[in-house]
C-alpha cells in the first residue's frame, strides 16, 4: 500500500531520499496499523534503485509526517521529523538504526505578557503567563534571547537589583529567581511561604534588600537566601468581622480569606495573625474582667497591654462553626458546630456568663460560659425568626437578648430559657449593652413608614469617605477615641480619630 506524502528530504549524498507518509483510511484497524500499511511512517529509499532502505516511526506518529530534514554536519546520520498531530511533536532519529534519540512537543504560546522591565541599553525584557522570560532587542520586534521555564506559572514581576541582576517573581510557585546580565539563572532563589501568597510586585531596596508585594495583600522584605519578613500584612478578600477590644486600643478583624488579625491602633501594627482555613464572618471579645479601662503608666499613657485583660475572642464561620481563640497566644481553645449555615453574628453577655450565636438558619444558640471564657455548655436554641438572624444585642443585666432578622423582624428573648418574650412593649425601657440592631425603640423615629430597610435617614448626620468599596463594619474603640471601619472589596482597614 502506498498513500500520499506531505514531506520529502534529500540526504547530503544526493542519492538517499526520505519521504513521510500520511495515515490512510482505516487507521483504527489495529492489525493494519501494526503491519505499517496505513500507519503514518517514514520511508528512506535509494533514488537510483528505488529500493526501500529503512522504514521508521510505525506506531509512533499519530497523523501524517509534516516535515523532514537530514542533519548536515555529521554526514546526514540523523533525521528530524515533525508529526502533524495535535501536539506537533518533533523527533530526532538515528535512521540507520531506526532508533529515536530525542523528542519534544511544540512550544505553547503564552496567553498573556504579565510583566516587563527595560534594561539600561534600551532592551525590553518581558515575563509571560507560561513562566518564560524574553529579551526584545532595542529597535526591533524580534526576540533576541529566551529563557524558558524560569517559573511554574506566570511571571508577575520583573525588576533589576542594585548590582544589575534581574529579579523575577512567580505568581504560582511563590519564588523569586535571580538572573545574571546574560539572563542565565545564577542559582540564587527564594520561595516565599504560602501564608503570604504568590509574588505580585518587586522592587529593589537598599543594598541587597528586596521589597515584595504579594497577592495576599502583604508587603515583605528580605534578601535572597534568607527568610522574608512582613512589613505590612492585610486581608486578601472581603471581611466583615470586626471587634474592638473592650479594655485597650486593640481590635480584631477576620474575613473570607480565613485570616484572623489582632491590631494595635496606636502603633498601627499587627500584633498577631492566625489562619483558620475557612471563611470567617463575625467576631466578639470576651467582656472585660475588672476595671473597664486600662491602667495608666507613669508617663500618663495607657499601658495598652493585653496580658491582664480579656482572655478570649470568639469567631463565627461560614460553615456553621464558631471558634474560641486565646487572645494572647492566638490558639484555638474551643470549637462548636451549630448547623451547616453560616454564623451571622456572635456576642458575649456583659457579665461574661453567656454567649449568643445567630445564624442563617433563623436561630440563635445560647451557651453558658465559665472558666474565663474557656468552657461552654449549650443552654438552648431561640427559634421564631422567619429569616436569618442579622444582628443581636444583650441587655445590660445579661438577662435578655434582642435580635433583628433579614426580613426586618425585631424579637426579644429570655436568655435563661431561650423563650421569646411575647410582649415587646414590656422591653421598651430595657437598657442594652450595645446597639448592633438597627431596629428597636431607640431608633424607631428615624425609619420612615415606607422604608425598605436598606437606608436609615437621620437628621444632623455627617458622611466620611475613605473606602473605595462598600463598608462592611464599623466599631468605636473602648474609649470612643477612634472609629475603625472595615472595607469590602478594597479589603482596607481605616482608623478615624474622633475630634469632638
Domains delineated in the chain: 5-104 (no CATH), 113-232 (2.130.10.10), 241-293+304-449+465-497 (2.130.10.10)
The single residue listed with the C-alpha cell 529597535 is 139
Task: Give the per-residue pLDDT at 295.
Answer: 43
Q: Sorting pLDDT into bands at 50, 70 and 90, what band is 223?
A: very high
The single residue listed with the C-alpha cell 451549630 is 338
C-alpha cell, 452: 425598605
Task: Give the per-residue pLDDT at 234.
Answer: 87
Is residue 175 scored above 70 in pLDDT?
A: yes
Q: Where are the beta strands (DSSP E) in 71-223?
A: 78-83, 90-94, 99-104, 113-118, 124-128, 133-136, 143-147, 155-160, 166-170, 175-179, 185-191, 199-204, 210-214, 219-222
Among the listed ranges 114-128, 362-376, 463-477, which one has the minimum average pLDDT value? 463-477
Cross-strand pairs, 252: 243, 262
Is residue 29 scored above 60 in pLDDT?
A: no
Task: Give the per-residue pLDDT at 299.
Answer: 46
pLDDT in tens, 393-408: 999 999 999 999 999 8
Q: Are 263 and 475 a contacting pair, CB within 8 Å?
A: no
Is residue 35 scored above 60 in pLDDT?
A: no
pLDDT in tens, 243-266: 999 988 999 999 999 999 999 999
The single residue listed with the C-alpha cell 470568639 is 314
Q: Sorting pLDDT into bands at 50, 70 and 90, what band is 307?
A: low
Is residue 83 scored above 70 in pLDDT?
A: yes
93 to 7, 22, 41: CA distances (angstroms): 16, 18, 12
**Strand 124-128 to 113-118 pairing:** antiparallel
Rounded CA-CA distance 18/293 in Å is 91
Is residue 441 scored above 90 in pLDDT?
A: no
Tell me the whole-structure pTM to 2 decimals: 0.70
Amino acid at each position: 500500500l502506498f498513500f500520499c506524502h506531505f514531506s520529502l528530504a534529500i540526504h547530503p549524498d544526493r542519492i538517499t531520499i526520505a519521504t513521510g507518509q500520511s495515515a490512510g483510511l482505516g487507521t483504527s484497524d489495529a492489525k493494519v496499523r501494526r503491519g505499517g500499511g496505513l500507519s503514518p511512517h517514514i520511508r528512506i529509499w535509494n533514488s537510483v534503485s528505488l529500493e526501500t532502505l529503512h522504514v521508521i516511526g510505525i506506531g509512533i506518529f499519530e497523523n501524517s509526517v509534516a516535515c523532514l530534514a537530514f542533519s548536515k554536519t555529521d554526514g546526514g546520520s540523523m533525521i528530524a521529523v515533525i508529526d502533524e498531530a495535535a501536539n506537533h511533536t518533533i523527533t530526532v532519529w538515528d535512521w540507520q538504526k531506526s532508533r529515536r534519540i530525542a523528542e519534544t512537543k511544540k512550544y505553547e504560546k503564552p496567553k498573556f505578557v504579565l510583566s516587563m522591565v527595560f534594561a539600561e541599553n534600551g532592551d525590553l525584557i518581558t515575563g509571560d503567563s507560561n513562566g518564560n522570560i524574553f529579551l526584545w532587542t532595542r529597535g526591533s520586534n524580534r526576540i533576541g534571547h529566551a529563557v524558558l521555564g524560569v517559573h511554574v506559572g506566570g511571571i508577575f514581576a520583573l525588576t533589576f537589583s542594585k548590582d544589575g541582576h534581574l529579579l523575577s517573581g512567580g505568581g504560582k510557585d511563590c519564588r523569586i529567581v535571580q538572573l545574571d546580565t546574560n539572563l542565565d539563572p545564577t542559582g540564587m532563589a527564594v520561595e516565599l511561604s504560602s501564608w503570604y501568597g504568590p509574588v505580585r510586585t518587586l522592587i529593589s531596596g537598599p543594598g541587597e534588600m528586596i521589597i515584595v508585594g504579594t497577592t495576599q495583600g502583604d508587603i515583605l522584605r528580605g534578601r535572597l537566601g534568607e527568610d522574608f519578613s512582613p512589613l505590612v500584612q492585610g486581608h486578601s478578600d472581603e471581611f466583615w468581622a470586626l471587634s474592638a477590644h473592650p479594655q485597650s486600643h486593640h481590635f480584631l478583624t477576620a474575613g473570607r480569606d480565613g485570616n484572623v488579625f489582632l491590631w494595635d491602633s496606636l502603633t498601627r501594627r499587627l500584633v498577631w495573625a492566625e489562619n483558620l482555613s475557612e471563611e470567617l464572618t463575625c467576631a466578639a471579645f470576651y467582656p472585660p474582667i475588672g476595671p473597664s479601662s486600662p491602667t495608666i503608666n507613669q508617663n500618663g499613657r495607657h499601658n495598652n497591654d493585653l496580658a491582664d485583660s480579656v482572655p478570649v475572642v470568639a469567631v463565627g464561620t461560614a460553615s456553621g462553626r464558631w471558634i474560641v481563640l486565646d487572645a494572647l497566644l492566638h490558639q484555638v481553645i474551643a470549637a462548636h458546630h451549630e448547623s451547616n449555615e453560616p454564623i451571622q453574628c456572635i456576642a458575649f453577655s456583659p457579665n461574661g456568663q453567656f454567649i449568643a450565636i445567630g445564624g442563617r438558619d433563623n436561630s440563635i444558640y445560647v451557651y453558658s460560659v465559665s472558666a474565663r471564657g474557656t468552657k461552654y455548655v449549650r443552654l438552648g436554641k431561640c427559634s421564631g425568626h422567619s429569616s436569618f438572624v442579622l444582628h443581636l444585642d444583650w441587655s445590660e443585666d445579661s438577662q435578655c437578648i434582642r435580635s433583628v432578622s433579614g426580613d426586618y423582624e425585631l424579637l426579644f428573648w429570655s436568655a435563661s430559657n431561650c423563650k421569646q418574650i411575647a410582649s415587646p412593649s414590656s422591653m421598651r425601657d430595657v437598657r442594652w449593652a450595645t446597639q448592633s440592631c438597627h431596629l428597636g425603640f431607640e431608633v424607631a423615629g428615624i425609619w420612615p413608614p415606607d422604608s425598605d430597610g436598606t437606608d436609615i435617614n437621620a437628621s444632623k448626620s455627617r458622611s466620611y469617605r475613605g473606602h473605595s468599596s462598600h463598608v462592611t463594619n464599623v466599631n468605636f474603640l473602648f474609649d470612643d477615641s477612634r472609629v475603625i471601619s472595615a472595607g469590602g472589596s478594597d479589603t482596607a482597614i481605616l482608623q478615624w480619630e474622633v475630634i469632638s
